[in-house]
């Protein structure tokens, strides 16, 4: 079959983007042709992929999205395909990969009522309704159990159109046989002494991921522990407001912010703790990437994959409503307790051997291609 994949932006370090790439490659591996429509593409194009970049511009995102949709539909009209798979909500999709949370729920619960008078609201509400309305034919690939009831609540979407996928953790995130050697080399490279603790926060979108909360927690560590704790933040985002916060908190010598990079497994093996106090998070793939690498996790319970941390007993889960004081206390306790971190690490590695954390691309391809059992 000829398949068309649509996403607004591709860059190698985004969670949605990495999921798209692995699903598309799985479909290609099964013998199908891949065409991709995007507005922005950063990084290499896999052999055999046809990537089309839409020449659309606009002052507002929602206007640009609408122009992009029209451009894609015009090209598909000239060159039809067998399936259209979207990684952002938009009309006329055969399959939608639900990486984003329910927009209508957020608009009603987190926004001022006046927001729903704006053109931006109408655009995103219309595009979401095009996917989830009862009369739509779009099959929906769900990666978060938490979100499905919200879509049903607002749109009465028929249950049979939802397909809940297992996580799709890449096998290269698992701790290899020489993990101890990689860790030692990494810590030499970053000048980390044996008694120093490295905390990592990984993910694009620093505001949503709760980096401000993390920085406050680092600043609040007991003085002796703070002196031997470092934080490395990795992600694609503007660091300027957080660099100002770091300066104001007086922790400039404790924190580094790095751009997205391709050697994340080294950081997962070299660190002592992953922190992820997100404000909201549909899933949180990095949480499971840490677990299978044997890295303990401290995460807020609003993340869709936070329940795996509890099930694996691979760290601590912050309860809602969020409390900065609780985050501060748990971070200090986890960094100070070497035996507990060792136990969480062992538990995570055992969970990696027993749980289905890897089959998402294959299961998604089954639905796209109509091959599910």
With tokens 């199908």, the residue in question is 32
Of the two residues 4 and 173, the one the predictor is more confident about is 4
Report helix, strand or coil for 221.
Answer: coil
pLDDT digits (tens, 9 = 90+) for 251-307: 999 999 999 998 999 999 999 999 999 998 888 999 999 999 999 999 999 999 999
Q: pLDDT value at position 113? A: 86
- Across the range 310-333, mean pLDDT stands at 98
CA distance 38 to 61: 14
Q: How confident is the model at residue 57 (pLDDT cuts 50, 70, 90)?
A: very high
Please check whether residue 123 is in contact with residue 66, taking contact to mean a CB–CB distance below 8 angstroms.
yes
For the chain, list the domains and their CATH numbers.
Answer: 2-166+358-369 (3.40.50.2000), 171-354 (3.40.50.2000)
Please check whether residue 277 is in contact with residue 213, taking contact to mean a CB–CB distance below 8 angstroms.
yes
pLDDT digits (tens, 9 = 90+) for 238-247: 999 999 999 9
- Across the range 322-348, mean pLDDT stands at 98
With tokens 């059992």, the residue in question is 373
- Across the range 52-70, mean pLDDT stands at 96
Query: If you average pLDDT over every residue of the chain, what do you get?
Result: 96
Q: pLDDT value at position 146? A: 84
Q: Cα-flanking dihedrals φ and ψ of residue 333, to 5°?
A: -65, -45
pLDDT higher than 90, residue 372: no
CA of residue 16 relative to chain centroid, distance: 6
pLDDT digits (tens, 9 = 90+) for 137-154: 999 999 988 899 999 999
Supply 349's token pair: 């590695």
Q: pLDDT value at position 117? A: 87
pLDDT higher than 80, residue 326: yes
pLDDT higher than 80, residue 373: no
- DSSP E strand boundaries for the chain: 2-6, 9-10, 33-38, 40-41, 50-53, 83-86, 95-98, 139-142, 162-164, 197-202, 229-234, 255-258, 273-276, 297-300, 315-318
pLDDT higher than 90, residue 337: yes
CA distance 270 to 296: 12
């Amino acid at each position: 079959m000829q398949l068309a994949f649509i996403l607004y932006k591709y860059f190698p370090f985004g969670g949605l983007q990495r999921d798209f790439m692995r699903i598309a490659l799985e479909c290609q591996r099964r013998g199908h042709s891949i065409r991709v429509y995007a507005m922005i593409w950063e990084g290499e194009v896999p052999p055999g992929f046809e990537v089309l970049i839409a020449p659309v511009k606009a002052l507002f995102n929602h206007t640009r999205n609408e122009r992009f949709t029209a451009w894609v539909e015009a090209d598909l009209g000239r060159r039809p395909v067998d399936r259209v798979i979207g990684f952002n909500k938009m009309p006329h999709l055969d399959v939608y990969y639900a990486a984003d949370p329910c927009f209508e729920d957020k608009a009603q619960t987190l926004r001022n009522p006046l927001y729903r008078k704006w053109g931006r609201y109408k655009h995103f509400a219309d595009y979401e309704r095009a996917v989830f309305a009862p009369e739509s034919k779009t099959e929906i690939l769900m990666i978060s159990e938490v979100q499905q009831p919200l879509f049903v609540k607002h749109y009465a979407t028929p249950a049979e159109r939802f397909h809940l996928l297992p996580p799709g953790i890449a096998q290269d995130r698992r701790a290899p046989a020489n993990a101890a050697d990689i860790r030692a080399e990494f810590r030499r490279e970053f000048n980390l002494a044996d008694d120093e603790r490295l905390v990592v926060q990984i993910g694009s979108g620093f505001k949503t991921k709760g980096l401000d909360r993390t920085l406050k927690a680092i600043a609040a560590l007991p003085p002796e522990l703070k002196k031997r704790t470092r934080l490395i933040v990795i992600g694609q985002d503007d660091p300027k407001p957080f660099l100002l916060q770091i300066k104001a908190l007086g922790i400039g010598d404790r924190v580094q912010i790095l751009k997205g990079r391709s050697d994340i497994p080294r950081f997962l093996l070299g660190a002592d703790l992953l922190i992820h106090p997100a404000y909201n998070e549909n899933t949180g793939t990095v949480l499971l990437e840490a677990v299978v690498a044997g890295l303990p996790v401290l995460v807020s319970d609003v993340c869709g994959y936070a329940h795996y941390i509890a099930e694996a007993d691979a760290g601590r889960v912050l309860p809602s409503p969020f409390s900065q004081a609780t985050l501060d206390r748990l971070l200090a306790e986890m960094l100070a307790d070497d035996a507990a971190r060792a136990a969480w690490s062992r538990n995570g590695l055992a969970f990696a051997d027993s749980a289905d954390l890897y089959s998402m691309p294959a299961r998604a391809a089954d639905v796209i291609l109509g091959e599910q059992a």
